Amino acid sequence: MAMRELQKILEEVTSGIDGSLDSIAPAPKIEEVGRIRRISQGIIWAEGLNRVQSEELVIFGDKATGLVLDILPDRIGIVLLDNDDCLKSGDEVSRTGKVLDVPVHNELVGRIIDPLGNPLDDKPRLPDEQRLPVQREAPAIMDRAPVDTPLQTGIKVIDALVPIGRGQRELILGDRQTGKTAVAVDTIINQRGRNIICIYCAIGQRSSSVAKVIDDLQRNHAMDHTIVVVAEGNDAAGLQYIAPYAATSIGEFFMGQGHDVLVVYDDITRHAQAYRQICLLLRRPPGREAFPGDIFYIHSRLLERSTHLREERGGGSLTALPIIETEAQNISAYIPTNLISITDGQVYLSPDLFQKGQLPAVEVGKSVSRVGGKAQLPAYRKVAGELRLSYSQYQELESFSRFGTRLDDDTRRKLVHGRRVRELLKQDQYDAQAEAEQIAVLFGVIQGLFDNVPLRSVAMVEKKIIELVRGDPDLAEVVRAAGKQDQIWDTLKDRLIHVINAVCELDEHRQNSEQPE
Question: Looking at 284, 370, 381, 419, which residue is catalytic?
Answer: 370
What phi, psi does 457 have (nearest 5°)? -105, 0
Give the number of other CB atoms < 10 A from CB of residue 307.
27
Q: How many CA atoms lie within 13 A of 258 on its CB side?
A: 3
Name the burial class of residue 285, with classes exposed (0-12), middle (13-18) and buried (19+) by CB atoms within 10 angstroms of its CB.
exposed
Strand-pairing partners, residue 347, are: 172
Q: Report d(CA 499, CA 503) in Å as an integer.
A: 6
Asked whether the beta carbons of 39 and 84 are under 8 A apart, the reply is yes
DSSP for 151-205 reads ---S-HHHHHHS--BTT-B-EEEESTTSSHHHHHHHHHHTTTTTTEEEEEEEEEE
Asked whether the beta carbons of 205 and 177 are under 8 A apart, the reply is no
Q: Report d(CA 13, CA 10) in Å as an integer.
A: 5
Name the burial class of residue 294, with classes exposed (0-12), middle (13-18) and buried (19+) by CB atoms within 10 angstroms of its CB.
middle
Q: Report d(CA 471, CA 182) in Å as an integer.
A: 28
Looking only at Cα atoms, what is the longest distance across the chain?
A: 132
Provide the angle, in degrees to the nearest 10, between the axes of the packed helices 435-446 and 473-481. 70
* Residue 190 CA: distances (Å) to CA of 93, 154, 195, 308, 392: 47, 6, 11, 20, 28
Question: Which residues neighbour 57 within 8 Å (Cβ) at sequence distance 6 or greater?
Answer: 65, 66, 67, 68, 96, 98, 99, 100
Q: How many CA atoms lie within 13 A of 490 on its CB side?
A: 3
Residue 422 falls in the annotated catalytic set: no
Tell me the residue type at 466. I
Asked whether the beta carbons of 174 and 325 are under 8 A apart, the reply is yes
Q: Report d(CA 276, CA 272) in Å as an integer.
A: 6
DSSP one-letter code for 286: B
| Planar angle of CA 274, 276, 277, nearest 5 degrees | 65
Q: Report d(CA 273, CA 327) in Å as an integer.
A: 14
Q: Report d(CA 161, CA 387) in Å as an integer.
A: 8
Asked whether the beta carbons of 98 and 53 are under 8 A apart, the reply is no
Buried-state track 44-61, b at ≥16 Cβ within 10 A, e below 16? bbbebbeebeeebbbebe
- Would you please indicate which residues are annotated as catalytic (active-site) residues? 370
